[in-house]
Structures are given as structure tokens and as C-alpha cells.
Structure 1
Amino acid sequence: MRSTLIMSPDGMISAIEEEWLFDDLYSLAVIDETSDDSTPKAEAVSNFAAKVIENLGPYGYFMRITADDRPVAISTVTQFKSEMQGPQLLLSFTAPLAEPVDPARHAVKFSVYDPSYFIQMTHRPEAPPTIRSEAQHRCRALVEQPNPSAQDIARAFALDRGAAPQEGLGDLFAEKVRIQCG
């Protein structure tokens, strides 16, 4: 995935742009599942984004954002698209924050993960999270790799395939992006 924090001219984080590049196998499965004689491949790819965004809404778009360890609400995603990038499906969307957050005054962190723990989501080393701003800012995004304990790993492996996710388990395996200003 690729994440870009959007900062307003006054230095507030107002949204996060996400790009999720799915692996070849998942991309092929989605296209095969959604395209048929009545729905051509190009239309299936285009329709993918709307369906996924609708399904992710109740889960906060798989994003957890905090300011001083308190949750930050995400507004409804209205900007999204999907397209093919070679053999891989690319989903892009912008998640606006319900209220802008000042990273200079609050400890801001975010992570992107599937709460059911079945999907690995990581930033590409060559494309770490970035910050886009029209104004001068002295903030940077730092990725902290997950460090689950042996007990957490054992608990995750002990889950049955159809079991309900355990609250907070996916978060233990997710990268955390910390915004550092100053």
C-alpha cells in the first residue's frame, strides 16, 4: 500500500489518500468473480472500487487513526477508483477525517489493517508514507514495524478459519505510522 497524509495550509491533517495494490492471485480472482459475458473485464475493474468502498465503510475503511491515543473519526469516502496496473488490481481512495487534526499539538498515529487478520497490508519499502502540504511543515511519517509477542502469534494461529476476529488482534500485526513534527 501507499499512504499520503494531506495537510491543509494551516498544518492540519485533513485526509489520508490510500493506494492498495493487490497481489496477482487476488486480482485475478476478483476479476474472474466479477466479470462475465454481461460484465466485461474493464467494467468489472471499474465497479470494484465502489463495491469495496461500500463494504469497508462499516470497518472504518480498515484504517485506525488516533490523536493522543484517542480515535479520530473518518468521514464517508467519496473519492475512489480502481484500475489495473499490469496484472494487479489497484484501489485508490481518499479518506477525509471528520475533524482535521494538528500533528504539532497531538501525537498522531495511523495503521491500516483488516480486523479479521486475514490480509497482510504493508507499505512498500520504496514507497513509504508521505505528507502532502501546500504550506511549509516540519512533519514526517515514520513507519514502526509490528512486533507481536510469541503469545499473540500463537493466539492468531489458534483461530479457526471461520472464527470471529478477536478485538484488537489485527492491530498487533499492523504497521503503525507515527507523525513526527518539530
Structure 2
Amino acid sequence: MRSTVIMSSDGMISAIEEEWLFDDLYSLAVIDEMAIDSPQKTTAVSDFAAKVIENLGPYGYFMRITADGRPVRIGAVTQFKSEMKGQQLLLSFTAPLAEPVDPMRYAVKFSVYDPSYFIQMTHRQDEPPAIRGAGKYRCQAYVKQPDPSPQAIARAFALDRGASPQDNLGDLFAEKVHIQCK
């Protein structure tokens, strides 16, 4: 996964761009399901993005953004695409914030995770989250790895595969991206 924090010229966080490169196994399953060997391969790959974005909308696109610990609403994603990268599906989209956030005024964090916690989503170590257009500030993003308690791990393992997690359990297993500006 690759994340880029988009900032306006006045130094406000306005959006987060996401790139999700799905693993070989998931990509193969999706390709098989879409019968991607058909003549309409390009259309099928494009349709994949639209379908995923539509399905993720009610879940905040699997993104949780906070400013001083309070949730930040995400607007509707209208910029998205999917393509093949070798044998893997790549989904790219821009998640606009409903209202820009001032990173000098608020401690801003975000994480990307499936609330069911069954899908591992991590940033590549060689491609940490980036900041684009920091305006008048010097900003950086860093990833804090999850450190779930033994009780949380036991609770996760105790759930049946089809059960819904409680208390936002997936958040305990998600990386947290912190944004710092000076």
C-alpha cells in the first residue's frame, strides 16, 4: 500500500491518495471471477475499481482519519482507477476530506484497515507515506506499527470466521500514520 497526504497551498490537509497493490492470490481470484481473459479485459479491470469504490463507500473506504482523536469525515471518492501491474491488480483512488484539516493545529493520524481485520494492509517499508504540497509548512509522515495486547489477539482468534468484530477490533491491528508539521 502507498499513501500520499495531499496538502493545499495554505498548508491544510485536503485529501489522501491511496494505491493498493493486491497480492497475487487475491488478484488471481478476482481475475478468474471477472473472466479477464475475455476481449473486454481492459473494461473488466476498470469496472473492478468502480465496484470496489462503491462497496467501500459505506465503510469510509477502509480509512480512519482523526484530528486530536476526533474522527474526520471523508467525502465521496470520485477519482479512482484500477489497472494490472504484472499479474497483480492495482487500485488507486483519492479520498477527499469533507473539510480540510490544519496539521499545525491538530495532531492528525490515519490508518487504513478492513474493520473485519481479516485483510492485512501495510505500507511498504521502502515506500513510506509521502506528503505532497505542504505549502508553508515542513511536514513529514511516519508509520507506527500496531502493538495489540495479548488479550486483543486472543479475542481476535476467538471469533468465528464469519463473526463481526466488536469494538473496532481491526483498528488494533492497523498501522497508524502520524503527520507532523513545523
Contact 2:46–2:81 under 8 Å retained in 1: yes
CA contact (8 A) 1:63 1:112 kept: yes
How many percent of aligned residue pairs carry the same amino acid? 79
Give, in whole Å, the separation in 2 of the partners of 1:55 and 1:107.
Answer: 30
How far did residue 37 of structure 1 move? Answer: 7.8
Q: Which residue of 2 aligns with 1:177?
A: 177
Asked if 1 retains the 8 angstrom alpha-carbon contact of 2:11 and 2:134, the reply is: no
Q: Is residue 103 of structure 1 aligned with residue 109 of structure 2? A: no
**1:109 and 1:76 mapped to 2: Cα distance?**
20
In the TM superposition, what is the alpha-carbon distance from 1:40 to its structure 2 partner?
3.0
Q: 1:31·1:41 contact (CA, 8 Å) conserved in 2?
A: no
Q: What SS is found at the alignment partner of 2:122?
A: coil
Partner of 1:27: 27
Secondary structure of the corresponding residue to residue 156 of structure 1: helix
Deviation track 1:130-172 (CA, whole Å, cap 9, x = no partner) reads 0000624211101000000111111101110111122310000
When normalised by structure 1's length, the TM-score is 0.96
Could you say which residue in structure 2 is the equivalent of 1:40?
Answer: 40
My pick for the range that moved more, 69-78 or 40-49, is 40-49
Per-residue deviation at 1:39?
6.8
Deviations 1:6-43 (A, max 9, x none): 00000000000000000001001001112268773322
Count of residue pairs brought into register by the alignment: 182
| Distance across 2 between alignment mates of 1:134 and 1:141 | 11
The code of the aligned residue for 2:135 comes to: A
**1:93-151 Cα distance to aligned partner (Å, 9 max, x none):** 00000000000110000000000011000000011000000624211101000000111
> Within 2, Cα distance between the matches of 1:46 and 1:35?
13
In the other structure, the counterpart of 1:81 is: 81
Superposed, 1:11-160 pairs within 5 Å as 11-35=11-35, 40-133=40-133, 135-160=135-160
Unaligned runs of 5+ in 1: none
Give the aligned partner of residue 5 of structure 1: 5
Bigger CA drift: 126-135 or 21-30? 126-135
Cα distance in 2 for residues equivalent to 1:177 and 1:2: 11
Q: Please give the alpha-carbon distance, in whole angstroms, between the structure 2 residues aligned to 1:83 and 1:167.
A: 35
Q: Which range moves more in the overlay, 143-152 or 159-168?
A: 159-168
* RMSD across aligned positions (CA): 1.3
**Counterpart amino acid of residue 87 in structure 1:** Q
1:177, distance to aligned residue in structure 2 (A): 0.4
* Partner residue, 1:162: 162
